[in-house]
Structure 1
Amino acid sequence: MANEQCSNELSCDKTSEKPYLLDSSTFSSEKMNNFGEFRFDSNRSMNSSIRFSNNDCTVEWLEPSMAVWIPVETKAKLHSGKWSLEFDVEWMGTHQIGVGFLLDWNIGSDWGFFGYLGSSSSAWSYDPSTGDIVTNTESIHGNLPKFTGNSGVIGLELDLPKNEIGKFTFIVDGVRTPTKQLSNSGAVAIPAVCLLSRGQKVTIRNLVRLNQD
């Protein structure tokens, strides 16, 4: 990909600025206290095959679609502290599924050239069907816990200090996976999911700010 930061052509057309990852250490006092909304961005999704419910905290792929996968991000913008949240995968089926987060840019999030979660270098996804952490289209850690059935819960802990490199940990049905480092300090994280099969259903829940930086 020649310029993965500009993989979203619409975003790049809207600004002449050079794309850069947001840095919370530069935020104004007003922006420092803005963490968005912990719900899926139903207005942004253009795919009519999915349904949002539970105050937009649940997304489900219901109708047939030509899409191979459907990416869905939340309205949350987490930064400046430690956070925890959960993805309740209510139905995975026998297909892959991705849950995780993207880092925020000045032009918006980057889903990468292929458009699935973990396709870009500023997004990380956990796939409980294979037990892999994926970023930049590659598995950076495999042979991790998998779901034993068609459902399960994946926790995510995000350590996002303003002036240090951040890190994150996935927790699969109560089992912690190795902590991984982010690419920059002052990172702003957007929780997201990627559905890869009709019938898949995910609920986001239990967002907690563990401490502030």
Structure 2
Amino acid sequence: MPTLLHLDSSPAGDRSVSRALTAEFVKNWQAANPGGTVITRDLTTTPLTALNGEWIGAAFTPEDKRSAEQKATLALSDTLTAELFSADEYVFGIPMHNFSVPGTFKLWIDQIARAGVTFAYVDGKPQGLLKGKKAHFLIATGGEYGPGTAAESFNFTEPYLRTLFFFLGVTDTSFQTAGGAAALNYGADRAEFLAPQLKAIQSKFATA
């Protein structure tokens, strides 16, 4: 049976737009895949830390030569990469923070982008090792950064994610952005704002 990795990174809790989108995606995915497995990962409650010298040294030590301390250092990274390999499909909830991904998501990326694990160099050329996976990115932005908008060039979120996951071997990707979410902080109706976004997610499964 298929497996979905559901990952959230917004610190906004119940007010989060990206979490509302991933919840809708998971609900529809489960209906379309009865018996499928969902792996849930909340980065705001995952003990992520910045990479340090010990981590880098452990990662570049051959697995069969790692000390107990090095294995412990890489334990979380091993768990996170195992989730990526065990899932057939991913759905990521990502709010734009300062024109890019949240700090928690970047810390997660640093833990899973590992030479010899999720990518390798073959004859001097990079090769992604996450083959045959499908990734859905559900993004919330406070302003409008879509094609043709005045702030389009400020959007580093989608280009970064597309580039990174392509490097890791994930070429089947889709992006949906709920732009203008800052209006919810100034009295805009949440249900009205979310309605077209939820409908777009439902449509993915209606035509699947």
What is the TM-score of this pair, normalised by structure 1? 0.24
> Which of the pair is proportionally richer in helix?
2
* Structure with greater contact order relative to length (CA < 8 Å, sep ≥ 6): 1
Q: Based on CA coordinates, which of the two structures has the bigger radius of gyration?
A: 2
TM-score of the two chains, using structure 2 as the length reference: 0.25
